[in-house]
Structure 1
């Protein structure tokens, strides 16, 4: 690995910020998709994959340097509950990468972009075990299962996403140190592959299972394959303090992509409270000053939020929202 640089580092050598996309599920719902299902956005893979392609395209045009695939809740076990056999399930998981790659490659044919912004990456989402449980436990993390169970759960999906040609893996919304360790161990089986690691938070100083963010950051700080480390799906209000903890404990690029600030109720799968992400462009400046280099949005954010960030950091790039 030492002779290579990660896809993230390649972008950050040329740009002060790498701009991530925003929420996929929010946009799928806006396009008329029904996600009231344990498969969540993975349901659309079965019914309306062309809408996933469209949402990826929308985010690229809004200025995103990265598409996060629709595989967060796409798992062999989840599809099996729908009567879908493993072979077809793995094909659907690979399809999440292919849809994002097709959208990226079609977008990149427009030569006007090629000299003023980086070629976008495709980050294959590897959501936590709790996402498969579909009970909100990705925000708690105490699953009560063994390392072996988590390893078996994640292995085939990771392999399929890599085979499909993802540029990088996104270990995201990880709520527990146990699961982070399992994912990192699996990553070592693919020594040429990079991943980012982003945690869900209990508060500004601890991840969801209560482990100190400082401890998590230090533990993975020397991994050659972890290309960035940070947090996602946390409210905007706590991001700056969390970045300061991260910055004090690692030299790796720091990644943040918060949710809208609303609160998710896993029982009825609804969001409540007040949105606090309307000026992500201004917040992104604060976060960058604190040490973040990869910035985007998570649940309930939209292309117009990403376009605001892009206008802030890439004023010469024409974006649509």
Structure 2
């Protein structure tokens, strides 16, 4: 992959970047079948052109960061559906390649974030919204390590450690990254002022403060009403840039973007139910401190 010179971490110091929206809802709108235990990863395996089309739709809408279709891709989960390790590893690489292709097809700068979803996402039973899987931090790290290593080798600009429901899984993810020199963001799914597993957000965000690999921290896959308090808690725990990409519960027109930015948000987008039209509206609403520039990707 050809790289340009500006790191994502540096870009976050200049202005707020626009993240993409929900991949699953966009694939559904394109007519894809997401039934079964693999969800959007099924489309990645069976019809990758649809995944690239979804990424392209968001990039054309103004998204500056595309999150790959690797959220639910895990070796164990795919083995249950008949995929061997080699094929699953290839799919993780394909997820980055498809987002990269979409990034190169538009006339503004786009970064690619490789999604590292929580362990619960691969179970397809909504346990990512509960956490506390009964696994130790060491066991969770062993689960995440091979997929993280593959995604890093595939050349994504940043890892999106997203929809993390509890601090045990955050510790596991950060232990895998420790000493690698990788760049990642850490994003919790929250309910009120706590993680989905019920831990105080101040404790959860404090974990990221001490991790040099983490370039931003925040929340996703949550109600928009919970974002501001979470960002304020994160800002008290770390000086790192913040991010937010909540679900569509009331429409982006009702999101207090100015307040989120004042709290420290430097990447804002959408998660479940947020499509390209809302991302386009978000891109129009966010003031840019500098021009968005020409085409091509930029690296971390």
TM over 0.5: yes
Could you give the per-residue CA deviations for residues 94-153 of structure 1, whole angstroms, max 9, x where no partner exists?
10001001111222xx4xx4xxxxx21100000000001111111110101122321221
For 1:162-181, what aligned pairs fall within 5 Å after superposition? 162-181=152-171
Q: Does 1:11 align with 2:11?
A: yes
Give, in angstroms, the shift of residue 189 of structure 1. Answer: 4.8
* 1:6–1:227 Cα contact (<8 Å) kept: no
Partner residue in 1 for 2:271:
298
Partner residue in 2 for 1:132:
122
RMSD value, Cα: 1.9
Q: Which SS does the other structure have where 1:102 is aligned?
A: helix
* 2:257–2:286 Cα contact (<8 Å) kept: no
Inter-partner Cα distance in structure 2 for 1:307 and 1:245: 28
Task: Number of aligned residue pairs: give it.
Answer: 287
Partner residue in 1 for 2:189:
200
Q: Which SS does the other structure have where 1:169 is aligned?
A: strand
Inter-partner Cα distance in structure 2 for 1:284 and 1:7: 24
Could you give the per-residue CA deviations for residues 238-278 of structure 1, whole angstroms, max 9, x where no partner exists?
111111111122100011000012xxxxxxxxxxxxxx124
Inter-partner Cα distance in structure 1 for 2:223 and 2:7: 27
2:253 pairs, out of 251, 264, 279, with 279
* 1:236–1:277 Cα contact (<8 Å) kept: no
- 1:148 and 1:253, CA in 2 relative to 1: closer, same or farther beyond 3 A? same
* 2:113–2:160 Cα contact (<8 Å) kept: yes
Partner residue in 1 for 2:95:
96
Partner residue in 1 for 2:238:
250
Q: What residue ranges of structure 2 are gaps of 5+ in the alignment?
A: 293-300
Q: Does 1:55 align with 2:54?
A: yes
Q: Which SS does the other structure have where 2:227 is aligned?
A: helix
TM-score by length of 1: 0.85
Q: Which SS does the other structure have where 1:279 is aligned?
A: helix
Inter-partner Cα distance in structure 2 for 1:277 and 1:183: 32
Inter-partner Cα distance in structure 2 for 1:148 and 1:188: 14
Q: What residue ranges of structure 1 are gaps of 5+ in the alignment?
A: 114-118, 262-275
Give, in angstroms, the shift of residue 312 of structure 1. Answer: 1.5
* 2:58–2:279 Cα contact (<8 Å) kept: yes
Inter-partner Cα distance in structure 1 for 2:206 and 2:162: 18
Give, in angstroms, the shift of residue 22 of structure 1. Answer: 0.4
- 1:220 and 1:99, CA in 2 relative to 1: closer, same or farther beyond 3 A? same
Q: Which SS does the other structure have where 2:73 is aligned?
A: coil
Q: Does 1:227 align with 2:215?
A: yes
Give, in angstroms, the shift of residue 76 of structure 1. Answer: 1.0
Partner residue in 2 for 1:271:
none
Partner residue in 1 for 2:75:
76
Q: Which SS does the other structure have where 2:284 is aligned?
A: helix
Partner residue in 1 for 2:296:
none
Inter-partner Cα distance in structure 1 for 2:239 and 2:62: 26
Inter-partner Cα distance in structure 2 for 1:308 and 1:285: 14
Give, in angstroms, the shift of residue 304 of structure 1. Answer: 1.0
Inter-partner Cα distance in structure 2 for 1:86 and 1:21: 29
Could you give the per-residue CA deviations for residues 140-178 of structure 1, whole angstroms, max 9, x where no partner exists?
101011223212211111111111110000000000100
Could you give the per-residue CA deviations for residues 56-92 of structure 1, whole angstroms, max 9, x where no partner exists?
1111111111000000001111110111110111001
